[in-house]
Structure 1
C-alpha cells in the first residue's frame, strides 16, 4: 500500500480518535458498570420498613383496593412477583404520572396487612444506577429534548469512532500479519503503548464496530423512522398497535382477572419464560394491557435483561409476542439481536462479565490513544530539532485527557459513597448529580493546574482512594450501625463492594507505576515532573536519542 495513503488514513485515525476519545472513555467505563445495573440498584437502595409481602391469591385484592383508593394508579402500576432489596413494595406506581420523563418519579407502594387491609406509603428509589446509565448514554453532556442532548452528541461521536476504527485497520494492514499480538516491552515505552493499543483494538474489532453502529442507530432512530414514514410506509402506521377485540366486559377493577390466571396462560405458551413483574398500562381504559417482563437465558431479549409478553388483563389473551423470547418474527428477531449485542443481554452473567472487560478494554484504547498522540508530538519535535519544551497544545491535550478520564472514574465512585453518607440531606437525584459533577470538574481543573505529569499521578491515586470509599462505607455501616450509611448483605450488593475494593487497589498500583514514569522518565516529556537537570548550554544536549 502506498505510503501517502497510509499517511492519510493515519491522520484520519489520529484526529477522529482524539476528538471522540475522551467522551468514549466515559461512555465505555460507565457502560461496563451498567452490565450489573441490578446489583448496583440493590446496593444503592436505602433499606425501608419491613414490607408485608403478599401471596399470589392476594394479588387481585391488592390491585383492586389500590385502584379504588389511589386514582393515579389507574394510569399504570407494576406488580412485582418477587421481593428484592430494590423493590419497595409488591405493587408500585408513580403518584405524578403526568410528569415530564426528565422529572423525578414520585413512587408509592402498596401491600396488604395481615387483616387484608390496604397499606400504602411513598418510598424512595435510588437513581444511582440510572446516573451511571446516563453517563454511558451521554458521557455526562447535559441538555434535554425529546432525547437527552448528549445522546445526539454521542451519535455524532460514534460516527467519528467508526471512522477511527476503519482508518486504524487500514494503517495496520501492511504489518498486520507480522506484528499481530506482538507487544514489545523495552526502553521504548511509546512502542509498548502502541503495541498494546493495537493488540487490544484488533482483538476487539468486531465488538467496537458493533458498538459504533448500534449507537448511531440508537441516537438517530427517530430521524430514520420519520424518513421511512415519508418514503416507504406513507399512510400506513410504522408500528402496528395491538388490536383489542370486544371483551364482552366493562373495563373496571372488579372485572380484572387474577394475575395468576394470566401467568398460567402464559406458561402454557412460553414454558421457559420466567416472569418477574407485571406492568399494567391504563388498566381501567379501553386499551388496557399488561406487559409481563421476564427472563429466558436461552434467547436474546429486547431489554437490558428482560423480554416481554403483552396480554389482555380482562381476557388473559396473549396479544403480543414480538418481544417474547423465542417467539419473535424474523424482522423483530434482527432488531432484538442488535439491542442484545449492544446491551450484552444474552448468555447470563458470563457474557455480562465479558462485556465488562470489553468495556474496560475499550476505555484503555481511548486513553492510550491520547497518550500516543502526546508522545508522537515529542518525538516529532525531537526529529525536527525543535525545542525541548513541549508545545502548549500538547500539554493542554495531556491535561484534558488526565482530568476528564480520571475525573469521571473518581466522580462515579464518590457519588456512590456520597449517596449513602448524605442520604436524606437533599433529593437523591440531585445529590448524585452534584457529587459527580463537582468531583469531575474539580479533577479537570486540578489536571490543568498541576500539569499533566503530576496531575496524572495524583488523580489516578485519587480515583483509587475514591473507589476504596465504597467498601469502606459498607464496612463502617456494618461495624457502626448508627452511621447514616447502610450495607446490603445480599450477594449482588456485596459483589459491588468487592469489585470496588479491587478497582481501588489496582488504581493505586497504577498510580505508583505512573509516578515512576513521571518522576524518573525522559526529561523532555510532557509527563516529566521531576527535578530539572542543570544544563550547560554550550556543551550539553539532554535530549534523548530517538528510539
Structure 2
C-alpha cells in the first residue's frame, strides 16, 4: 500500500507525541487492569476470616433478617440476603451504614450464634482489590474521581489517536514487517519490531479498550444524549415504581420462595443475593447473579429489578433479555471487562493487558533510541536531557507501579491487626512506594535504577506468598485461609524469577551494551558532538 512520505511523517509525529503524553499512565492502567481480571479471587485471598457463626440455611434467612431489622432498624435502607456466602461476604444477611460520602460506608453481617442469639460483625472485606481497580480506572492518578476521570477520558482519546496513527504508519510495510523480529546489535530495530507486532496483533483489543474507556469517562453526557436521541419519548420500560405498601396480611415473600420463583423465571441464572431498599415505608428489591452463557455489563455479576411481594423479575437489564440497543451497549462493557468465556478468557485478558503495558513501555524505548547520540571516533557523547528524563520517568513510573502494587498486596496479611483504616493504609503504601521509585530512578539514572528497581520488584512480590506463609504460622497477627487464594500466592511466586531475569538482562545491557546510551552505566567523558577534533582531544 502506497502512502506519501509527508503523510507518513505527519502521522508519525502525531503517534509519537500522543504516545509519549499518555503512555506512562496507560502502562499503569493496563498493568493494574490485568490484575483486576481476578478481582474476586484477590479480594477473597485478602479478606481476613470471619468470626461469625456459619450462615443459617436459606430457609431461616427471613428469621435472621427480622432479627437484624428489630435491633438495627437503619438496615432497612439497604440490606441483602446472600444466597451464596463467600469468604469476602460470609454472612447470610448483610447491610450498610452510610458514612460521610456516597462511597464511604461500613458493612455489617449477621448470623445466629450457637445459643440462637443474634451475632453481628463488622465485615472486614479487604479494600486492596478495589484500590488496584481504582488505579486501573483512574490511570494511577492520586486525585479525586471528579478530577481524575476526565483526565482518564482525555488519555483514552489520545490512546485512540495513537492507535489509528500507528496503524497508518505501518501500513506501507505491514506485510513485510509483520512477522519480522530482528534481534541483534540494532536495538532500535528490535524494539520497533516488538512494538509493531504487539500493536498489530492486539489492535482490535486496544480499540475496544480505548473506545469503552472514553464512554466510561464521559458516561453522564453520553447517556443524556442517548436518552434524547434513542429514547425521545422516555425509556421504554419506564421508571420502576416501588412495590406498594403492604396490606395488613401482605408481606414480602420468604427468601427461599423468592429463590424458587427467580430460578423458574430465569433458567441458567445463578442467584447470588437479594437486595432490599426501603424509602418512606416503600420497599424495592433487586436480584444479583450471573448467567455464564452471556457476558455481563459488570465484571462479576448482573442485577435487575425484582418485586419482593410476587417474585416477578423484570429481566430487561439482563444479558439475553435486552433490546437490541442495550445489547449493543452491553457488548462494549462485556468486551472491556472480559466478563465472558470464563477463566480461560480472563487469563487471555491478563496476557493482553500485560502485552498492552509492554506496548507503551517499548514505545518510550523507541523514542529514546531514536534520539540517541551515537559514538563517533571513539568518543561517547552526552545524551540529550529529554532522553535521560524520559528514561528515568519510564523506569520510575512503570516499575514504581509494579512495586507499589506488590508492596500493598504484601501488606494485606499484616495490616488488619495493626491498623483501622485499611483503605487509607493500602493507598498510602502504594503511593509512597510509587513516588519513592520515581525519585530513585532520577537519583540513580535510568540504567542503574532499572536494575535495582527490578530486583526490588522481585523482593516485594516475594513478600506476598511469604505473608501467607507467616499467616499459617500465626506470626505477628497475620492470618491465612488454609489454602484459599493459593492461586494468588502461586502467581506472585511465579513472577519473582521473571523480575530477576529481567534484572539480569538489564544489568548485562548496562555493563556490556552500547556505551552511548542512557541505558549504559559506563562513566566515560561526554563531549558536545559538534566539538572540534582539538576539543575532543583535550577532553580525552
Partner of residue 532 from structure 1, selected from 515, 518, 524:
524
- 5 Å-filtered alignment, 1:395-406, equals 395-406=388-399
Kindly indicate whether residue 128 of structure 2 is the aligned counterpart of residue 128 of structure 1. Answer: yes
The alpha-carbon deviation at position 316 of structure 1 amounts to: 1.4
Q: Sort the Cα spacing of 1:332 and 1:233 in 2 relative to 1 into closer, same or farther, 3 A.
A: closer
- 5 Å-filtered alignment, 1:208-219, equals 208-219=206-217
Q: Judge which range, 422-431 or 189-198, deviates more.
A: 422-431
Partner of residue 505 from structure 1, selected from 497, 505, 515:
497
Matched with 2:328 is: 334
Per-residue CA deviation, residues 23-61 of structure 1 (Å, 9 max, x unaligned), is: 000000000000000111011111221423111210111
Q: Sort the Cα spacing of 1:2 and 1:534 in 2 relative to 1 into closer, same or farther, 3 A.
A: closer
Partner of residue 520 from structure 1, selected from 489, 509, 512:
512
Matched with 1:278 is: 274
CA distance in 2, matches of 1:330, 1:263: 28
Matched with 2:401 is: 408
CA distance in 1, matches of 2:219, 2:496: 38
Kindly indicate whether the alpha-carbon contact (under 8 Å) linking 1:142 and 1:149 is maintained by their aligned counterparts in 2: no
Matched with 2:183 is: 185
CA distance in 2, matches of 1:534, 1:21: 30
How large is the Cα RMSD of the aligned pairs?
2.5
Matched with 1:34 is: 36
Kindly indicate whether the alpha-carbon contact (under 8 Å) linking 2:81 and 2:94 is maintained by their aligned counterparts in 1: yes
The alpha-carbon deviation at position 113 of structure 1 amounts to: 2.8
The alpha-carbon deviation at position 335 of structure 1 amounts to: 1.5
The alpha-carbon deviation at position 259 of structure 1 amounts to: 1.0
The alpha-carbon deviation at position 91 of structure 1 amounts to: 1.1
Matched with 1:544 is: none
Kindly indicate whether the alpha-carbon contact (under 8 Å) linking 2:287 and 2:303 is maintained by their aligned counterparts in 1: yes
CA distance in 2, matches of 1:317, 1:532: 78
CA distance in 2, matches of 1:168, 1:272: 43
The alpha-carbon deviation at position 514 of structure 1 amounts to: 0.7
Matched with 2:292 is: 297
Matched with 1:101 is: 102
Kindly indicate whether the alpha-carbon contact (under 8 Å) linking 1:377 and 1:394 is maintained by their aligned counterparts in 2: yes
- Give the TM-score, by structure 2 length: 0.92
Kindly indicate whether residue 454 of structure 2 is the aligned counterpart of residue 460 of structure 1. Answer: yes
3-state SS of 2:475 partner: coil
- 5 Å-filtered alignment, 1:194-213, equals 194-213=192-211
Kindly indicate whether the alpha-carbon contact (under 8 Å) linking 1:273 and 1:325 is maintained by their aligned counterparts in 2: no
Kindly indicate whether the alpha-carbon contact (under 8 Å) linking 2:380 and 2:516 is maintained by their aligned counterparts in 1: no
Q: Sort the Cα spacing of 1:239 and 1:322 in 2 relative to 1 into closer, same or farther, 3 A.
A: closer
3-state SS of 1:106 partner: strand
Per-residue CA deviation, residues 462-515 of structure 1 (Å, 9 max, x unaligned), is: 11111111011112322x223322222345x11000111111210111011111
Per-residue CA deviation, residues 46-98 of structure 1 (Å, 9 max, x unaligned), is: 122142311121011111111121122111112211232212422111122x6
CA distance in 1, matches of 2:245, 2:267: 26
The alpha-carbon deviation at position 126 of structure 1 amounts to: 0.9
3-state SS of 2:142 partner: coil
Q: Sort the Cα spacing of 1:214 and 1:311 in 2 relative to 1 into closer, same or farther, 3 A.
A: same
Q: Judge which range, 58-67 or 160-169, deviates more.
A: 58-67
Kindly indicate whether the alpha-carbon contact (under 8 Å) linking 1:453 and 1:518 is maintained by their aligned counterparts in 2: yes
3-state SS of 1:378 partner: coil
Q: Judge which range, 265-274 or 437-446, deviates more.
A: 265-274
Partner of residue 368 from structure 2, selected from 370, 374, 379:
374
The alpha-carbon deviation at position 275 of structure 1 amounts to: 0.7
The alpha-carbon deviation at position 529 of structure 1 amounts to: 0.7
CA distance in 1, matches of 2:85, 2:235: 39
Q: Sort the Cα spacing of 1:534 and 1:180 in 2 relative to 1 into closer, same or farther, 3 A.
A: closer
The alpha-carbon deviation at position 367 of structure 1 amounts to: 0.6
Kindly indicate whether residue 137 of structure 2 is the aligned counterpart of residue 137 of structure 1. Answer: yes
